[in-house]
A and B are shown apart, each in its own frame.
Chain A
Amino acid sequence: MNLLQIHEPGETPLPHEGERGLAVGIDLGTTNSVVAIAADQKAEVLRDEGGTSLIPSLVAYLDGGEVAVGEAARRVLLDRPEAVVGSIKRLMGRGAGDLKALAGALPYEIGPPAEGGMVRLKVGGRVLSPVEISADILRAVKARAETALARKVDRAVITVPAYFDDAARTATRDAARLAGLEVLRLVNEPTAAALAYGLDSAAEGLYAVYDLGGGTFDFSLLRLEKGVFQVLATGGDAALGGDDFDHAIADRFLKERGGPVDSTGAKLALVVARLAKECLSGQDEWIGTLTIGERASRHALDIRVLETLIDPLADRTIEICRHVLEDAGVEPAELGGVVLVGGSTRVPMVRRKVAGFFGREPLANIDPDEVVAVGAALQAEALTHGSDTLLLDVTPLSLGLETMGGLVEKIIERNTPIPVAKAQEFTTYQDGQSAMMIHVVQGEREMVDQCRSLARFELRGIPPMVAGAARIRVSFAVDADGLLTVSAAEQTTGIESRIEVKPSYGLSEDEMARMLRESIEHARDDMERRLLTEAQVEAERAASAVRSALAVDGDLLQSAERAAIEAVLTRVDAAVAGLDRDAIIAVAEELEEITKPFAERRMDRGIRSALAGRHVDEVNT
């Protein structure tokens, strides 16, 4: 196993792939985060010295610029709640208007938004975006992995809720970049869980994944067949999770208590509510104290009251399951099994409802808190070391454009397999119209204002024409990470105006660059390293292609010609082993140039033998 190979300092540098750090799988959760690594299709969850796998997704911003994450942040929570922030995943790619209030107060203190429109929070005397806070969690996760593995970790598969929209996915990617992690792939949480479960149990047939996390609910229907994990349909709610259970309980406590509540009070009420909820998954009654400022109040909660509080939320998840199955024309009885994922599936009533709806006991063989990270680790191994398994995922939400009258024209329907690219033509509605507003939205409703606005941009420079004469082709492409790119071009005149879209709640390139500069450990190498790696892999690819050609068609060269090519190849190898990007590019160009006559002779031979082959065929028929 090469997993724990240690690179001796001072050794001759290896070709760059050997120098790469390890690739891990990260479940970046609303409540907890988990990191795992896989080798030979066996995943291992990485734990701290105490054997704990869960890293609470809490960050404390302390005096003197110190940042504490996880248990260390939790210890600060009761004494200095204003310095601690949690559930940040719910704000990824969101605007301030999306925040949920509790007894009229938000459990966050909102600061001035970033220039791109992204919400920012005031915490511990700082003003930070959700991307920066998530990056701090990812740094701690990365550090845990590096300590456990005693090796550098710089690549990861990160999971996101299937129902995460484009803005939230982009925000997750940006956070990883800030933390110095290259994202190999964003994988949907239920899909990752299915991968972990399917590889573990060799399951085949139709399976459903019920994933109730801290902040999001996902339900996915998959077909598992001989190493293929094909998502057929997915549904969910990006703002429904165990946090909402806590909100319902905290709301009750605050009403019992009475009096005004500020954001610190709301935060403390949530902490006590969560404690009560967790107690009640093992016992029938909980009694405790909520202390905000000087005043303490006593509260009691029994299992019956808890279930009344969360009943509507649990029912909403079952409604989503029903909808997805009916949409796909699948009866619950046709399923081979239902896999439970997410800490909130520990709530007994949730399990009962799931069992009731599907008419069977759900499967929870793998710890519901760890199964997603395990799947992510397996996928990280598959991406870096090759694999026979195949994950085929879909878009969770339809993507479209605003048209006349505030209507949505869908370009890519939900549940379309990704990657996907589709284009549609639009036209102008006024004579001489020279610009067109392109408004990209995501969602299922027919009216723009009921869908999520992803981006707006203007296509300018349309030549003057009568209304309806221009042909503007708008292209949507969703890659394997579920990330959208939109471009638009005017067709009739051949004038192309292309614009790449930035999500409405995303970071601008400038903001990203500033944050990278400010994050000291990556300022120097992030961009440079990226470009260097690209030049290295590209030069290696070119050298390896020439070597293959020499092996097959080497007889087309005279020995002097061959020696000259081989000399350049040796120099490519030397350049690739070094760190000088310009030198790598220069010698790769030289290789391209010197092999041109060789390539022409090879083409000539190929065409001649194809012609000869056709003659033979014609004679035979």
Chain B
Amino acid sequence: MNDVAHKITGAGQPDGIVACWSCNGPIAADALFCNTCWAVQPPRPMDHFARLGLDIRFAIDTAELDRRYFARQRQLHPDRFATRTPRERAISQNQAVCLNEAYEALKDPLSRATYLLKLRGIDTNPDGCNTIKDPTLLMEQMELREGLAAADTREAATQMLREAEAHVNQSLAHIGGAFAAGDLDTAGRETTRLKYLVKLVDEARTRRACFAPAAAAPAQS
């Protein structure tokens, strides 16, 4: 009988059952804790959505994302294991690293769209290639950047920032629609556009910061 059990466990992990590292008993492969000895379990490979218990989709409720992330960090963060054994502390750190990675990838819509496309086998940034191949997108981005370069007061820069933010929101709506309709080509194209728009928002913020309000400008000494 022992021999049989050995062969089955030796054959891999049938039915998603693995041995708990602490009590050596059976646990589900995706369990965070052993349900016999309550030892924390190491993170298993899974996609970022599964890591946080979410369905794979673009339109996620960010409040729900936060709730899931906080709830899991409450269980797994190294602060919960400060007085435990070195091994449990190391496992908890690995778990927290995976949670942070998943949260960072899904929190921001641009990285979420990029990740979703990657899961579907579409690379929106082949080999770090940064040239725009789509002529319409190229024209639009050039015009927006010319507009930003011409903004020479804090008000004008703020105006450009608002405009860029409006473009971002509109682009996000397109991406959401495309993912919902299963139109990955459009989602991919629009995600590339979003990447440039997000950069534009950053540049507009930097531009605006050049014109600090007079009241707090550094005093002459």
Which residues of A come within 8 Å of B, CB atoms?
Answer: 17, 184-185, 225, 228, 230, 308, 311-312, 315-316, 318-319, 322-323, 326-327, 329, 353, 356-357, 379, 382-384, 386, 388, 390-392, 416-421, 477, 479-480, 534, 537-538, 541-542, 544-546, 548-549, 552-553, 595-597, 599-607, 610-611, 614
Which residues of B have CB within 8 Å of A327?
205
In-complex Cβ contact of A326 among B25, B85, B101, B205 (8 A):
B205
**B182 contacts chain A at the CB level, 8 A cutoff:** no
A-B contact pairs, 20 of them (CB 8 A): A185-B82, A318-B216, A323-B209, A353-B216, A388-B74, A420-B100, A480-B96, A537-B83, A541-B22, A544-B37, A549-B24, A549-B37, A552-B36, A595-B24, A601-B5, A602-B24, A607-B9, A607-B26, A610-B14, A614-B15
B5 near A419: Cβ-Cβ < 8 Å: no
A421 near B22: Cβ-Cβ < 8 Å: no
In-complex Cβ contact of A419 among B6, B87, B100 (8 A):
B100
B14 near A611: Cβ-Cβ < 8 Å: yes
Interchain CA distance A163-B8 in the complex, whole Å: 53
B70 near A601: Cβ-Cβ < 8 Å: no
Interchain CA distance A382-B82 in the complex, whole Å: 9
Choose among B1, B37, B77 the residue with the greatest number of A CB atoms under 10 Å from its CB: B37
Q: How far is the CB of A552 from chain B (nearest CB, A)?
A: 5
Q: How far is the CB of A222 from chain B (nearest CB, A)?
A: 14
Given A390-B73, A391-B79, A311–B221 Cβ distance below 8 Å?
A: yes
Q: How many of B's residues come within 8 Å of A, CB to CB?
A: 56
**B141 contacts chain A at the CB level, 8 A cutoff:** no
Which B10-65 residues have a C-beta within 8 angstroms of A?
A: 14-17, 19-20, 22-27, 34, 36-39
Interchain CA distance A601-B2 in the complex, whole Å: 6
Which residues of A have CB within 8 Å of B36?
545, 548-549, 552-553
Which residues of B have CB within 8 Å of A319?
212, 216, 218
B26 near A606: Cβ-Cβ < 8 Å: yes
Given A315-B216, A356-B216, A602-B24, A479–B79 Cβ distance below 8 Å?
A: no
In-complex Cβ contact of A599 among B14, B25, B77, B212 (8 A):
B25
**B193 contacts chain A at the CB level, 8 A cutoff:** no
In-complex Cβ contact of B219 among A228, A311, A552, A595 (8 A):
A311
A184 near B82: Cβ-Cβ < 8 Å: yes
Q: How far is the CB of B119 from chain A (nearest CB, A)?
A: 20
Q: How far is the CB of B212 from chain A (nearest CB, A)?
A: 7
A382 near B19: Cβ-Cβ < 8 Å: no
**B181 contacts chain A at the CB level, 8 A cutoff:** no
Interchain CA distance A313-B204 in the complex, whole Å: 27
7 closest pairs, A vs B, by CB? A606-B26, A604-B5, A599-B24, A545-B37, A545-B23, A383-B82, A548-B37
Q: Closest chain B residue to A612 by CB distance?
A: B15
In-complex Cβ contact of A610 among B15, B79, B83, B215 (8 A):
B15
List 5 additional A-B contacts (Cβ < 8 Å) besides A318-B216, A541-B85, A595-B24: A312-B218, A382-B79, A390-B79, A541-B88, A548-B38
Which residues of B come within 8 Å of A, CB atoms?
Answer: 1-2, 4-6, 8-9, 14-17, 19-20, 22-27, 34, 36-39, 66, 70, 73-74, 77-80, 82-88, 93-94, 96-97, 100-101, 103-104, 205, 208-209, 212, 215-216, 218-219, 221
B79 near A599: Cβ-Cβ < 8 Å: no
Tally inter-chain residue pairs, CB-CB below 8 A.
163
A610 near B17: Cβ-Cβ < 8 Å: yes
Which residues of B have CB within 8 Å of A548?
23, 36-38
B100 near A418: Cβ-Cβ < 8 Å: yes
B17 near A607: Cβ-Cβ < 8 Å: yes
In-complex Cβ contact of B70 among A228, A537, A600, A610 (8 A):
A228
Q: Is the interface of A mostly helix, strand, loop or mixed?
A: helix
Q: Closest chain B residue to A357 by CB distance?
A: B216
Interchain CA distance A600-B74 in the complex, whole Å: 33
Which residues of B have CB within 8 Å of A323?
209
Q: Closest chain B residue to A187 by CB distance?
A: B79
A545 near B208: Cβ-Cβ < 8 Å: no
Q: Closest chain A residue to B74 by CB distance?
A: A390
Q: How far is the CB of A115 from chain B (nearest CB, A)?
A: 29
Which residues of A have CB within 8 Å of B66?
225
Given A356-B215, A599-B23, A390–B70 Cβ distance below 8 Å?
A: yes
Q: How far is the CB of B26 from chain A (nearest CB, A)?
A: 2
Interchain CA distance A614-B86 in the complex, whole Å: 37
Interchain CA distance A602-B209 in the complex, whole Å: 64
Q: How far is the CB of B34 from chain A (nearest CB, A)?
A: 8
B23 near A549: Cβ-Cβ < 8 Å: yes
A607 near B15: Cβ-Cβ < 8 Å: yes
Choose among B1, B85, B87, B104 the residue with the greatest number of A CB atoms under 10 Å from its CB: B85
Q: How far is the CB of A21 from chain B (nearest CB, A)?
A: 13
Q: Closest chain B residue to A479 by CB distance?
A: B93
B87 near A605: Cβ-Cβ < 8 Å: no
Q: How far is the CB of A177 from chain B (nearest CB, A)?
A: 16
Interchain CA distance A452-B176 in the complex, whole Å: 42
Interchain CA distance A308-B125 in the complex, whole Å: 52
Given A184-B82, A312-B221, A383-B79, A419–B93 Cβ distance below 8 Å?
A: yes
Interchain CA distance A548-B83 in the complex, whole Å: 20
A322 near B2: Cβ-Cβ < 8 Å: no
In-complex Cβ contact of A603 among B5, B16, B22, B83 (8 A):
B5
A553 near B84: Cβ-Cβ < 8 Å: no
Which residues of B have CB within 8 Å of A228?
70
Q: Closest chain A residue to B93 by CB distance?
A: A419
Which residues of B have CB within 8 Å of A480?
77-79, 93, 96
B85 near A538: Cβ-Cβ < 8 Å: yes
Q: How far is the CB of A315 from chain B (nearest CB, A)?
A: 5
Interchain CA distance A534-B101 in the complex, whole Å: 30
Which residues of A have CB within 8 Å of B87?
538
Interchain CA distance A480-B81 in the complex, whole Å: 11
B83 near A383: Cβ-Cβ < 8 Å: yes
B104 near A417: Cβ-Cβ < 8 Å: yes
Which residues of B have CB within 8 Å of A322?
209, 212, 216
Q: How far is the CB of B30 from chain A (nearest CB, A)?
A: 13
Q: How far is the CB of A354 from chain B (nearest CB, A)?
A: 11
Choose among A311, A419, A421, A541 the residue with the greatest number of B CB atoms under 10 Å from its CB: A419
Given A315-B218, A602-B26, A603-B24, A610–B100 Cβ distance below 8 Å?
A: no
Which residues of B have CB within 8 Å of A311?
219, 221
